[in-house]
């Protein structure tokens, strides 16, 4: 009997807030009312009291952050932070003048200009560079060594009143050499970038290290480097040099060489030698033919297509763009660095008239492009629905780029080189035109018999008849009868029963709480609810169990407005019947 239950009844209103009988959220305030209570969300939160969610003032936006500030949301509030280049408390931000406050990092050879939220560094007229480095627009360069007059030697630069060398640093390459050759001797071509013991050692200053040129610069000063005098682990045995040239001579060998067809040979270091056919193509052939005085190249010949040469193999992996004036301007693996045999010699077939590369299958156009012959060359043009350089063409996704003609009520599907349009559910047509379906008149709706179908744009609505309530597939009577059963039912305490489909039945006590009991008491005419009764607190019923998992907010006018598992769906027995204790 130490498990016996009891009750505390009252003739006056119960303060659920003070007694902790409310279900208000931690982010809400409980307010007692006559016969019940309210949950009101705190400032900065929204919801219906039992569940309160943070309001993101930054996203909505309902903040007072300055236009030059960023907003950061926090639980129940937010804060503002001035953007970079501004100062203030976030609701007011003032622009910082970095120049006058010496907060800039401009180079000494530049001028600082304040702009909105930042600053600009502009190099003085005699200098060029970026905001942190302004250097003289040009520097003197010279070659030193026994062959310097012929364009070969150690490279030296004049800086700060003193000549000094350049460290090769394993980065010194043909692009760096091209800039030096152009600057020193005005020679258009660089044959080699010389490194380490390929040039005589210098003395004195080592001015530059880790030089990186693209090959297109007008002066060595325009190339990136570690900074003047900044070098590590460099000695003069690392001095860099160049070999410059006005170009190399080419010739053809073979029985048809007089007609512009044969094995290609180049003159280097006083010796003629062949070219290996690795990567040899029509672009390389164009440069050779142009050097030989032919306006057009018909084919790039490889291996067995030309007679084998003998002696020196000078070049390998030649890669020309086709626009070079001399073969020396094309990239390659280096002079004499050819791991080939003479059965792999390269050749050309030159022509005095234009060759149609498209008709002869000599183009490299991609499968999704069209070859167009031009004078001395050809163009690759991507097919409709594709984009790229012609050699490589990629599908254009017209759907994601919104460059289709699909109707507003369709979905767009991308396919290779094109797209198709499909009318959305509730519409019919070919995709470029879609007409709205009247599901109601065509009997395509699934509305309940106790409801009316109303056609809307792209769909339909089911509205329950006046005497019924529910959703589009189920319309039930707006209210159901409720009664109490048990020895104290006349006093407002007992087992709750509902009348549905012509039969009285009980309610299972799963999730049964004070909110559910409040609705039952209100339906029975009682202004107050003392308790929600469960299981052995009420006498067991018999027959039908109509409802389970009933969830009310407590504000409903009828139990039919509360959510539940559905009429007759339960996993309960009558010893789990639910009840209420009401009070007037």
**Interval 467-495: pLDDT, tens:** 777 776 777 766 788 999 999 999 999 99
Distance of CA 306 to the CA centre of its chain: 52
Higher-confidence position of 463 and 487: 487
Kindly report the CA angle at 69 between 64 and 74, in degrees rounded to 5?
65
Distances from the Cα of 160 to the Cα of 99, 124, 228, angstroms: 29, 18, 9
Domains of the chain, start order: 138-245 (3.10.250.10), 249-353 (3.10.250.10), 479-583 (3.10.250.10)
Helix (H, G, I), strand (E, B) or coil at 303: helix
Distance of CA 450 to the CA centre of its chain: 51
Q: What is the pLDDT of residue 475?
A: 76
Determine the Cα–Cα distance for residues 204 and 163; give it in Å rounded to an integer: 8
| pTM listed for this prediction | 0.40
Q: What is the pLDDT of residue 60?
A: 84
Tell me if 577 sits within 8 A of 535, measured CB to CB.
yes
φ, ψ of residue 238 to 5 degrees: the values are -100, 10
512-527 per-position pLDDT tens digit: 999 999 999 999 999 9
pLDDT exceeds cutoff 90 at 98: no
195-252 per-position pLDDT tens digit: 888 899 999 999 999 999 998 888 888 899 998 999 888 899 999 999 888 788 999 9
Tell me if 71 sits within 8 A of 58, measured CB to CB.
yes
φ, ψ of residue 283 to 5 degrees: the values are -70, -40
Determine the Cα–Cα distance for residues 106 and 122; give it in Å rounded to an integer: 8
391-419 per-position pLDDT tens digit: 999 999 999 999 889 998 899 999 998 99
Q: Is residue 461 classed exposed, middle or buried when 0-12, 13-18 and 19+ CB atoms within 10 A define those classes?
A: middle
User: In the structure encoding, which two tokens stand for residue 170, read together?
Assistant: 């394993």
Determine the Cα–Cα distance for residues 488 and 495; give it in Å rounded to an integer: 10
pLDDT exceeds cutoff 80 at 186: no
Determine the Cα–Cα distance for residues 480 and 473; give it in Å rounded to an integer: 19
Q: What is the pLDDT of residue 491?
A: 93
């Amino acid at each position: 009997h130490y498990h016996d239950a009891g009750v505390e009844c009252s003739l006056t209103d119960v303060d659920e807030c003070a007694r902790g009988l409310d279900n208000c959220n931690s982010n809400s305030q409980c307010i007692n009312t006559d016969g019940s209570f309210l949950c009101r969300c705190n400032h900065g939160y929204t919801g219906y009291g039992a569940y309160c969610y943070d309001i993101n003032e930054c996203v909505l936006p309902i903040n007072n952050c300055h236009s030059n500030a960023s907003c950061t949301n926090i639980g129940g509030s937010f804060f503002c932070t001035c953007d970079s280049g501004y100062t203030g408390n976030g609701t007011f931000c003032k622009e910082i003048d970095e120049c006058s406050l010496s907060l800039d990092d401009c180079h000494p050879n530049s001028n600082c200009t304040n702009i909105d939220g930042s600053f600009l560094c502009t190099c003085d007229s005699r200098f060029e560079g970026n905001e942190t480095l302004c250097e003289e627009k040009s520097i003197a360069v010279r070659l030193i060594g026994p062959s310097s007059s012929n364009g070969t030697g150690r490279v030296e630069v004049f800086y700060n009143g003193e000549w000094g060398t350049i460290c090769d640093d394993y980065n010194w390459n043909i692009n760096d050499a091209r800039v030096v050759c152009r600057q020193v001797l005005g020679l258009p071509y660089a044959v080699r970038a010389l490194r380490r013991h390929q040039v005589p050692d210098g003395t004195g200053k080592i001015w530059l290290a880790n030089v990186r040129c693209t090959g297109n610069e007008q002066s060595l000063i325009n190339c990136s480097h570690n900074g003047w005098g900044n070098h590590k682990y460099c000695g003069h045995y690392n001095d860099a040099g160049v070999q410059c040239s006005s170009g190399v001579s080419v010739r053809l060998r073979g029985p048809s060489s007089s007609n512009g067809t044969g094995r290609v040979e180049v003159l280097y270091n006083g010796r003629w030698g062949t070219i290996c056919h690795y990567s040899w193509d029509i672009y390389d052939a164009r440069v050779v033919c142009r050097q030989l005085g032919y306006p057009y190249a018909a084919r790039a010949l490889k291996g067995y297509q030309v007679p084998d040469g003998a002696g020196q193999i000078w070049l390998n992996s030649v890669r020309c763009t086709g626009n070079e004036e001399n073969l020396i301007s094309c990239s390659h693996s280096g002079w004499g660095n050819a791991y080939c045999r003479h059965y792999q010699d390269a050749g050309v077939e030159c022509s005095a008239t234009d060759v149609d590369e498209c008709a002869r299958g000599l183009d490299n156009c991609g499968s999704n492009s069209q070859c167009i012959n031009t004078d001395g060359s050809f163009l690759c043009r991507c097919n409709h629905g594709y984009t790229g350089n012609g050699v490589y063409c990629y599908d254009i996704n017209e759907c994601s780029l919104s460059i289709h003609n699909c109707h507003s009520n369709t979905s767009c599907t991308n396919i290779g080189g094109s797209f198709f349009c499909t009318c959305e559910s509730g519409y019919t047509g070919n995709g470029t035109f879609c007409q709205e379906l009247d599901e109601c008149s065509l009997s395509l709706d699934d509305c309940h018999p106790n409801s009316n179908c109303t056609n809307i744009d792209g769909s339909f609505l089911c509205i329950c008849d006046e005497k019924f309530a529910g959703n589009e597939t189920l319309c039930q009577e707006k209210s159901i009868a409720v009664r109490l059963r048990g020895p104290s039912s006349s006093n407002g305490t007992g087992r709750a029963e509902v009348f549905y489909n012509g039969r009285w039945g009980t309610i299972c006590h799963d999730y049964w709480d004070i909110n559910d009991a409040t609705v039952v008491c209100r339906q029975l005419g009682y202004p107050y609810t003392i308790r929600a009764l469960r299981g052995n607190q009420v006498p067991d019923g018999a027959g039908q169990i109509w409802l389970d998992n009933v969830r009310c907010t407590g504000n409903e006018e009828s139990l039919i407005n509360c959510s539940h598992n559905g009429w007759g769906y339960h996993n309960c027995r009558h010893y789990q019947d639910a009840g209420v204790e009401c009070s007037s």
